[in-house]
């Protein structure tokens, strides 16, 4: 059973402005849209795209980091195109349930998928799936990165990454580390860290971060990678320490914290990125309209400020950039999984 998200609707005050923008965008895209729609064999009324609300599917439950990002972007893009965008939550099977559902949806521009590293670039190696992100979808836009922090409990003596690596080596593989579950990004970020530093530790998987943090505070596990939003209150309360952030770039929400690579671990340029995909065969005019609206939203200061406040890093990119990132991370995490001998 999946749970449906609430409808994300444009505000009434923005309706007239949105209508004007929509008219302008349609005028600009009309020639291309007509050709694309005719080639796709769609009816004439489809030239008015979007003529009804859209739907974005995510493979996570409500209220999490992915859900928050999806609803924020859906609302703002909906205002740009003059139609509501509903967010539908379809968690399960490592994210493949949501992926398969959108792959089977009509390729008419009204069904979208918010892809995440955990769901596809990792789960695709561990879970059977009928759909393939690179084969059965077209990339629309790269949106943002939701970095994880490397946090340790207060019993760990290390104050820097170099001290942490030295401490791990001294423990000869007896240290426990937590994750949000086997095969999650939280798990594989630690496996990659161990591989890059030539150290060992024992994995203790949990169902989400809440129970993992509880055991970390008790001393049962020593470290884990967790979201900025979940970690900051613990750090500010002095209950855990953050040593570095898993990101290829600095994170505005934690400006004084180095990335893992900046802290001395070479080759550790991890990003917990999110991007929009549409089913293969979606008219190019629809893809172009959505990509343009998304790019405009991600340039707005209000959007940037809101995402930064919630722990995200805005990383706008076109479909080509998203496709390249998808391909690279699918290969990268496949190698990590194979080396760590991860299985479900």
Rounded Cα distance between 221 and 203, Å, is: 9
Which residues contact residue 64 at a Cβ distance below 8 angstroms, ignoring those fewer than 6 apart?
none
My answer on whether 263 and 314 are in the same domain is no
Domain end among 229, 248, 270: 270
93: confidence class by pLDDT, cuts 50, 70, 90: confident
Q: Quick one: pLDDT at residue 229?
A: 86
Residue 174 has pLDDT above 80, yes or no: yes
Task: Report the pLDDT averaged over residues 296-303.
Answer: 98
Q: What is the mean pLDDT of residues 123-128?
A: 85
158 and 266 assigned to the same domain: yes
Q: Which of 154, 159, 120, 153 is nearest to 139 (CA)?
A: 120
One domain for residues 140 and 282: yes
What is residue 46's predicted lDDT score, i.e. its pLDDT?
52
CATH code (residue 158): 3.40.190.10
Question: Does residue 83 share a domain with residue 17?
Answer: yes
Q: Kindly report which listed range (7-21, 102-116, 306-320) carries the lowest average pLDDT score.
A: 7-21
Domain C-terminal end among 252, 270, 288: 270
> Can you give the pLDDT at residue 232?
92
Quickly list DSSP for 62-129.
Answer: TTSHHHHHHHHHHHHHHHHHTS-EEEEE---GGGHHHHHHHHHS-SSSSEEEEEEIIIIIIGGGTS--
Contact 292, 276 (CB under 8 A): no
Q: What is the total count of domains within the chain?
A: 2
Shared domain check, 129 and 21: yes
The answer, yes or no, to whether residue 25 has pLDDT greater than 80, is no
Helices (H), 237-283: none
Do 162 and 242 reside in the same domain of the chain? yes
More confident position, 116 or 28 = 116
Confidence band for 208, pLDDT divided at 50, 70 and 90:
confident
Average pLDDT of span 159-167: 97
How many residues comprise the chain? 344
DSSP single-letter state for residue 157: -
Taking CA atoms, 64 is separated from 44, 166, 199, 339, in Å, by 40, 34, 31, 30
Residues 23, 163, single domain; the answer is no
Residue 45 predicted with pLDDT over 70: no
Q: Could you tell me if 124 and 12 lie in one domain?
A: yes
Please state, in angstroms and rounded to a whole number, the distance separating the CA atoms of residues 119 and 308. 23
Tell me the range of 60-69, 124-133, 298-307 where mean pLDDT is highest: 298-307
How sure is the predictor about 279, in pLDDT bands with cuts at 50, 70 and 90?
A: very high
Residue 10 and residue 154 share a domain: no
* pLDDT of amino acid 38: 46
Structural domain range at position 40: 3-146+272-338
| Angstrom distance (rounded) from CA 263 to CA 295 | 32
C-beta of residue 139 within 8 angstroms of C-beta of residue 218: no
Is 14's pLDDT higher than 50? no
Assess whether pLDDT exceeds 80 at residue 277.
Answer: yes
Mean pLDDT, residues 125-129? 86
Rounded (10°) CA dihedral 146, 184, 278, 314: 10
Share of the chain above pLDDT 90, in %: 72
């Amino acid at each position: 059973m999946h749970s449906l998200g609430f409808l994300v609707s444009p505000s009434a005050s923005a309706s007239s402005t949105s209508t004007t923008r929509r008219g302008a965008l349609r005028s600009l895209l009309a020639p291309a849209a007509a050709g694309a729609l005719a080639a796709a064999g769609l009816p004439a009324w489809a030239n008015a795209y979007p003529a009804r609300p859209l739907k974005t599917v995510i493979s996570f439950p409500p209220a999490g980091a992915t859900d928050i990002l999806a609803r924020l972007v859906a609302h703002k893009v909906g205002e740009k195109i003059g139609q509501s965008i509903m967010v539908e939550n379809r968690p399960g099977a490592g994210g493949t349930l949501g992926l398969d559902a959108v792959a089977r949806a009509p390729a008419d521009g009204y069904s979208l998928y918010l892809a995440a590293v955990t769901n596809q670039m990792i789960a695709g190696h561990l879970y059977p799936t009928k759909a393939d992100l690179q084969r059965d979808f077209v990339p629309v836009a790269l949106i943002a990165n939701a970095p994880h922090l490397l946090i340790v409990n207060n019993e760990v003596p290390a104050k820097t990454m170099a001290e942490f690596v030295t401490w791990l080596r001294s423990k000869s593989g007896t240290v426990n580390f937590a994750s949000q579950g086997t095969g999650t990004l939280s798990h594989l970020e630690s496996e990659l860290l161990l591989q890059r530093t030539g150290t060992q530790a024992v994995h203790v998987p949990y169902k989400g971060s809440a129970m993992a943090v509880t055991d970390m505070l008790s001393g049962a596990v020593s470290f884990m990678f967790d979201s900025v939003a979940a970690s900051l209150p613990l750090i500010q309360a002095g209950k855990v320490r953050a040593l570095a952030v898993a990101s290829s770039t600095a994170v505005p929400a934690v400006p004084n914290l180095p990335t893992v690579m900046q802290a001395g671990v070479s080759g550790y340029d991890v990003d917990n990125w999110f991007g929009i995909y549409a089913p293969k065969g979606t008219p190019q005019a629809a893809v172009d309209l959505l990509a343009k609206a998304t790019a405009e939203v991600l340039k707005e200061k209000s959007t940037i400020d809101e995402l930064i406040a919630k722990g995200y890093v805005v990383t706008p990119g076109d479909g080509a950039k998203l496709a390249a990132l998808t391909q690279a991370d699918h290969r990268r995490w496949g190698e990590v999984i194979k080396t760590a001998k991860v299985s479900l």
